[in-house]
Chain A
Amino acid sequence: MSDTPSATIPITLPKDLAAAMGRVNVQINGQWHHFPKATRMIEACRQVQVAVPHYCYHPKLTPSGNCRMCLVQIGMPPRPAPGQQPQRDALGYEPITWSPRAVIACANTVSENMGICTTSELVESCQAGVMEFLLINHPLDCPICDQAGECRLQENALGHGRGVSRFVDRKVKKPKNVTIGPRVRLDDERCILCSRCIRFMDEVAGEPVLGFTQRGTHTTLSVHPGRLLDSNYSLNTVDLCPVGALTASDFRFHMRVWFLKETPTIDVNCGTGTNITVWTRENTIHRITPRRNNDVNSDWMPDSHRLNFHYIDSSSRLTDPLAKAGNHHRQATWAEALQIIAPQLKAIAAPAIAIIASGRMTNEELFLTRLLAQQLGTPHLALVPRFAAPDALLIAADRNPNTTGAKLVLQSADPYAGLDAIRSAVRAGTIKALLVFGEDLISDAGFATADLTKLEFLLQTHLLANPTADAAHLVLPAAAFTEKRGSMVNLTGRLQRLNRATALPGQARDDWEILRDLTHVFTGAAAAPAQIDEVFAQLAATIPAFAGLSLATISPAGIPLLDTGHSIPLLDTERARTAAGRING
């Protein structure tokens, strides 16, 4: 048996409880907490809801410690003289001797019995001093700056600044409105040199094209000579920029951010299912930004996905049901359109009817499609595959967002398998009626116009005018992904929910309502269910993987439903960097 006191005295003091867990005790603003060893001070403060103003620090980037805004006062216990026992209070903590100088919280880590103070007079004067230096050359153009309203410099100037400038000299002039890439504009005068964009392009995007040139007060952010900021992840630098130095050409001067409503939803451009926020004002989408989810997309998203929303408001949007009359289409009401369908399909034998659905449909829509196929009695149901080269970060090879969901809901190992058979059967004339949901057969599924003219009945639901619609006997206007509520399962097997950000244009209807009405056309029964939540409940009762779930309880971060073994390259890199202690993650 050991004779050290710690082995015999039971652990009762709070400080020893923390030590037993391998954590360190830290006093933050007078309150004692414990954190894992090597936690950065700024992260420790964040975990206990103590705000530390900062610009350059970002949990997904290596700390550079150059903005100096996160200065805090620290203190350590006094070093005992040889032979002297440290003094301890009733809880076992040693008294703290405060350092007369502040340190940056982003690049320093916590240690045992450390004190951190974020509200002392010293800290406040440091913050006011840093703010004054940052504002010396900052232009006073908040009225025209796109960042106004979500600008860290504005917020911190209000919280920690002096309110008036003492600077009497002329401000340093730097380049303004520089096009540094196809999607990003740079205003160097607004830049506070935090280097977040430089570190992002270097560490995450892997294209280190940005850097600082010149020295001292003339330091300028610029792009490498002969290069452009043209990475497919360049717009993340705009999100990162704490001020209005980097702005997105697509969103620049469109709308002030305080008018915009934020709707959390998910991206549908590839199987990753990037978590996004849709920013709308009065039914107009103004921008899409990534939303943090450390199991899907970290903090980032590709530009190609982010900017792919302008079609939703475009003039080619379908707003009314269109019925073929001779060589052209005429506008019809929904009642008329639905009446056309039943006699057409009843005249055709069930095996001669095929359904082509989309991997962009939600689980609920796919479930109703399956019910429709059962009702019609047709065995022909296939989805249109959409594969392209993946990138090394977030974009998956499978550009359909809900392939995993389709496999589960349709209970098929490969929901795309039947498409070739349907296409050749249409060519051979054995399939006489085709119901197409959300897909353009001519552009995406390898059909020719001549194939479609052979059909006796072609119904298409789509949101945009397209070549297939020209050949269709009936075109039904459907919903875009920002207009839907529903669930999808991404490639890693995470169940996520789409939320409705905008209302449907004209007479367009939500896809699940169209499918529901189609199943009732034949029976003449009243349209039920009335809510998509009920469709999900039916789905959960039918498909074992969804058992016990409901649409409303899917959290904003999603629910891991199954393990598909798919991994997202960007997350693998990020986890490795976190494990190596380079970032907080």
Chain B
Amino acid sequence: MAVIKLQRPKLGPGEAIYLTALAKGFFLTLSHAVKSLLGKSMGAKDLASSGLGVTMQYPEQTWDDHLPEYYRGAPALVTDEQGRERCVSCQLCEFICPPKAIRIIPAEIPSDDPWAKVEKRPAAFDIDMLRCIYCGMCEEVCPEQAIFLRKDYVITGLNRKEMVHHKDKLYQIGGVRTGLVNKWNELK
């Protein structure tokens, strides 16, 4: 591996005594203090319930509306607009999952089921939320667009068993997702 020698930047006399930087910092803090006293701090409207409006009163208040589009919360399974559970238990998410949080027991779809041609679906799908690191690899690897990371982050339980999300819970969190590729429809 090549060794790259870095040259430290030469500081001018003004930078070397750092008093200007210190003064800048004090000024910034002071400006925030003035803003909050005037009720003009960031998010003051949402946090207006108490005091100066700078402290979020969690859990009465939450930041949910401000979560970015790319936020990675609890992984969940989804059904599509046809009511079909999209997971075919290919077990790729189980394989890719870095903390081994996912366990799937595959099963065959009985021949009298309307989606019998899909042949396979999970009999059990467990995600251990104590293990999950919200990395999103399961969503990325899924060839069926069946698992998505939702914005849920309040995952609580009184014991380890409660912290395992079973299949019904995962579908409850995931809900219906529309506009996905329906590769199992009649036209192959």
CB of A254 closer than 8 Å to a CB of B: yes
Instruction: Choose one: A139, A170, A252, A256; the contact of B95 (CB below 8 Å).
Output: A256
- List the one stretch of A93-101, A142-150, A357-365 in contact with chain B: A142-150
**Closest chain A residue, CB of each to CB of B117:** A176
Task: Tell me the bound Cα distance from A449 to B82 in angstroms.
Answer: 62
* Interface residues in A288-347 (C-beta closer than 8 Å to B): none
- In the bound complex, residues from chain B placing their C-beta under 8 Å from that of A133 are none
CB of B92 closer than 8 Å to a CB of A: yes
CB of A47 closer than 8 Å to a CB of B: no
Cross-chain contact B188 with A177 (CB below 8 angstroms): no
Cross-chain contact A142 with B143 (CB below 8 angstroms): yes
- In the bound complex, residues from chain A placing their C-beta under 8 Å from that of B89 are 253
- In the bound complex, residues from chain A placing their C-beta under 8 Å from that of B143 are 142-143
Instruction: Choose one: A143, A171, A255; the contact of B188 (CB below 8 Å).
Output: A171
Cross-chain contact A252 with B144 (CB below 8 angstroms): no
Task: Tell me the bound Cα distance from A422 to B94 in angstroms.
Answer: 56
Number of A-B contacts (CB under 8 A): 41
Contacts A253-B106, A259-B95 given: A144-B120 contact, CB under 8 Å? yes
CB of B81 closer than 8 Å to a CB of A: no
Give the bracket for the number of chain B residues in contact with chain A.
20 to 34
Cross-chain contact B90 with A140 (CB below 8 angstroms): no
**Closest chain A residue, CB of each to CB of B184:** A141
Cross-chain contact B108 with A140 (CB below 8 angstroms): no
Contacts A139-B188, A254-B106, A256-B95 given: A148-B120 contact, CB under 8 Å? no
CB of B42 closer than 8 Å to a CB of A: no
* Interface residues in A123-176 (C-beta closer than 8 Å to B): 139-144, 148, 170-171, 173, 176
Q: How far is the CB of B128 from chain A (nearest CB, A)?
A: 15
* Interface residues in A243-285 (C-beta closer than 8 Å to B): 252-256, 258-259
Contact with A along B52-92 (1 / 0, CB 8 A): 00000000000000000000000000000000000011111
Contacts A254-B106, A256-B95 given: A144-B183 contact, CB under 8 Å? no
Q: How far is the CB of B87 from chain A (nearest CB, A)?
A: 9
By CB atoms of chain B within 10 A, which of A142, A176, A256 has the most? A256
Instruction: Choose one: A143, A171, A255, A256; the contact of B144 (CB below 8 Å).
Output: A143
Cross-chain contact B92 with A143 (CB below 8 angstroms): yes
**Closest chain A residue, CB of each to CB of B108:** A253
- In the bound complex, residues from chain B placing their C-beta under 8 Å from that of A176 are 117
Q: How far is the CB of B142 from chain A (nearest CB, A)?
A: 9
Task: Tell me the bound Cα distance from A255 to B119 in angstroms.
Answer: 14
* Interface residues in B93-135 (C-beta closer than 8 Å to A): 94-95, 106-108, 111, 117-120
Q: How far is the CB of B187 from chain A (nearest CB, A)?
A: 7
- In the bound complex, residues from chain B placing their C-beta under 8 Å from that of A255 are 91, 106
Task: Tell me the bound Cα distance from A144 to B90 in angstroms.
Answer: 6
Cross-chain contact B188 with A170 (CB below 8 angstroms): yes
By CB atoms of chain A within 10 A, which of B89, B107, B120, B183 has the most? B120
Cross-chain contact B183 with A148 (CB below 8 angstroms): no
**Closest chain A residue, CB of each to CB of B146:** A143
**Closest chain A residue, CB of each to CB of B187:** A170
By CB atoms of chain B within 10 A, which of A140, A141, A148, A171 has the most? A141
By CB atoms of chain A within 10 A, which of B89, B91, B117, B144 has the most? B91
Task: Tell me the bound Cα distance from A253 to B123 in angstroms.
Answer: 11
- In the bound complex, residues from chain B placing their C-beta under 8 Å from that of A253 are 89, 106-108, 119-120
Contacts A143-B144, A177-B119, A252-B108 given: A148-B188 contact, CB under 8 Å? no
Cross-chain contact A258 with B95 (CB below 8 angstroms): yes
- In the bound complex, residues from chain A placing their C-beta under 8 Å from that of B187 are 170
Instruction: Choose one: A139, A142, A170, A259; the contact of B91 (CB below 8 Å).
Output: A259
- In the bound complex, residues from chain B placing their C-beta under 8 Å from that of A173 are 188
Cross-chain contact A256 with B120 (CB below 8 angstroms): no
Q: How far is the CB of B185 from chain A (nearest CB, A)?
A: 13
26 CB < 8 A contacts A-B: A139-B188, A140-B188, A141-B119, A143-B88, A143-B144, A144-B88, A144-B90, A144-B118, A144-B119, A144-B120, A148-B90, A170-B188, A171-B188, A176-B117, A177-B119, A253-B89, A253-B106, A253-B119, A253-B120, A254-B106, A255-B91, A255-B106, A256-B90, A256-B95, A259-B94, A259-B95
Seed contacts A253-B106, A255-B106; 16 additional CB < 8 Å A-B pairs: A139-B188, A141-B119, A143-B92, A144-B88, A144-B118, A144-B120, A170-B188, A177-B111, A252-B108, A253-B119, A254-B106, A255-B91, A256-B90, A256-B91, A259-B91, A259-B95
